[in-house]
């Protein structure tokens, strides 16, 4: 009511296979069909809703535009510089989300929704490049001290798959033996007792995150309904 | 414009001397003089301004109500649950600030502004107890991996004073020799070459934070004008 429009947007991260088979950290963007910035790509989002929590609005908007359901959803930051929109004052509460690999296989029916490699974006609408850069910084920082990597993976995974997630997000190779030692020392993952099925001689063990260990994930403000 | 009022509030931390001389982690609160929650204590703040950045509004409101200038100011979180105000939908962008000990000596002229020990608050207006709890969590977490403690201290300080800040904020005694080793290993502080003046036989050395060392402070989104 003070001449300020309140919006909610979300940066959605997923690991998607590139044409050569490698997984690439990717985000879905929506092409704007009206001014300002008509034709430019932008983060999924829209106006805040007067009766809904901000996290619920973020989850609903991202489901409506992309069909995706987040495995992890956290508030990123509230962006409110006076000049970020050329036509009105818009304050955007931005969330960031992680979706699983199987969800990320999805190709969007709407030609105005498309996956982009997170590190090779075109010039986006508003200050959305800055927002994605900040979300990437948060993701990379948080990956090193929390168990959020499993939100890309599903409930069970091999240590090689977990290491690959870390390597793709951090953009550097990790020594397998060191990685195994660090993960085991952190006591964040535990063996399930199961192995990858298939005809291999020494099938890799499957692990899961130990949810009884207190790790810094969302902090004390986890939105209701999201782990 | 979607039936939502946007507000800006700030949790301001300082170390203030208690009657017995010990320093206590304290925050200034403002008594509400109108409904809702008339008579209850609340965080300093007010309506967002259509032409001002959110951080500028936070700094201006805290200066107007308390006369304090923050040594550190960072966005904490955007609180937007639909039921947090009984009369309208209010989304509050909350900042947290640290002020130096000399500023914290200030006693407010207005009887409706008062310092409270951060861990012994009365029932506050709105969801402000939750907000302070979250700010305390952020302060304690961040103290362990950043150089924000010096915002309580001024540009130079003894290791004993720095340890005392950590002890008060973390609410546990720290072994002096271990603390010295950890601080020296982090290479976050450097000796100034000066000593505390006064007639002592072995005057303690003065230190300052090494600003050439990259530490996680505000992250990449430091508000303009705030270190």
Average pLDDT over residues A1-17: 90
Ordered alpha helix ranges (H), chain B: 54-66, 101-104, 128-143, 159-170, 176-186
Mean residue pLDDT across chain A: 87
Tell me the per-residue pLDDT of A206-218, one tens digit each, with 9 for 90 and over.
998 887 655 444 5
Domains and CATH numbers, chain B: 4-143 (3.90.79.10), 148-209 (1.10.10.10)
The first and second tokens of residue B52, run together, are 């001002």
The pLDDT value recorded for residue A225 is 38
Query: What percent of chain A is modeled with pLDDT above 70?
Result: 91
Contact between A6 and B2 using a beta-carbon 8 Å cutoff: yes
Cβ neighbours for B65, distance < 8 A, ≥ 6 positions apart? B28, B30, B44, B110, B113
**Which residue in B31, B2, B226 sits closest to B128, CA to CA?**
B31
Question: Is the pLDDT higher at A120 or at B101?
Answer: A120
At residue B220, the pLDDT reads 52
- Token pair of B157 as six digits: 């300080």
- Given a cut of 50, whether residue A20 has pLDDT beyond it is yes
Question: Looking at residue B177, what is its pLDDT?
Answer: 95
Give yes or no for A193 touching B (CB within 8 A).
no
pLDDT given at position A71 = 86
- Please say if the pLDDT value at position A139 is more than 90: yes
Burial class of residue B31 in the structure, from the number of CB atoms within 10 Å of its CB (0-12 exposed, 13-18 middle, 19+ buried):
middle
pLDDT score recorded for residue A227: 33
pLDDT for residue B22: 85
Complex confidence, ipTM: 0.86
Q: What is the per-residue pLDDT for B124?
A: 98
Q: Is A4 on the interface with B (CB under 8 A)?
A: yes
Q: Which residue has the higher pLDDT, B220 or A163?
A: A163
10-residue stretch averages of pLDDT, chain B, 227 residues long: 87 90 92 96 96 95 89 94 93 95 78 94 97 95 82 88 93 94 84 84 87 54 43
**In this complex, is the C-beta atom of B69 within 8 Å of any C-beta atom belonging to chain A?**
no
Task: Flag whether residue B214 sits within 8 Å of chain A, measured between CB atoms.
Answer: no
DSSP character at residue A223: P
Which among A189, A185, A150, A181 is positioned nearest to A166, based on CA atoms?
A150
- pLDDT score recorded for residue B215: 47
- pLDDT at position B186 is 78
For residue A49, pLDDT over 70 is answered with yes
The residue to which tokens 């992680």 are assigned: A98
Q: A136 to chain B, minimum CA–CA distance in Å?
A: 11
* pLDDT value for A220: 52
């Amino acid at each position: 009511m003070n001449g300020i429009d309140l919006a909610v947007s979300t940066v959605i991260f997923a690991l998607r296979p590139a044409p050569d088979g490698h997984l690439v950290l990717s985000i879905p963007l929506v092409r704007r069909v009206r001014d300002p910035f008509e034709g430019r790509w932008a983060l999924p989002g829209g106006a805040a809703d007067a009766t809904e929590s901000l996290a619920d609005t973020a989850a609903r908007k991202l489901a409506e535009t992309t069909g995706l359901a987040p495995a992890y959803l956290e508030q990123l930051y509230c962006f409110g510089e006076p000049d970020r929109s050329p036509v009105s004052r818009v304050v955007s509460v931005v969330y960031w989300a992680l979706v699983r690999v199987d969800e990320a296989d999805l190709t969007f029916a709407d030609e105005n929704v498309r996956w982009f490699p997170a590190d090779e974006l075109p010039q986006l609408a508003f200050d959305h490049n800055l927002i994605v850069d900040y979300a990437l910084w948060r993701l990379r920082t948080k990956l090193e001290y929390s168990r959020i990597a499993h939100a890309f993976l599903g409930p069970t995974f091999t240590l090689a798959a977990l290491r690959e997630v870390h390597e793709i997000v951090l953009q550097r190779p990790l020594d397998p033996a060191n990685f195994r030692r660090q993960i085991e020392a952190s006591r964040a993952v535990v063996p399930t007792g199961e192995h990858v099925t298939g005809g291999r001689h020494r099938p890799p063990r499957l692990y899961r995150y130990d949810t009884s260990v207190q790790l810094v994930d969302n902090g004390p403000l986890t939105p209701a309904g999201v782990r």
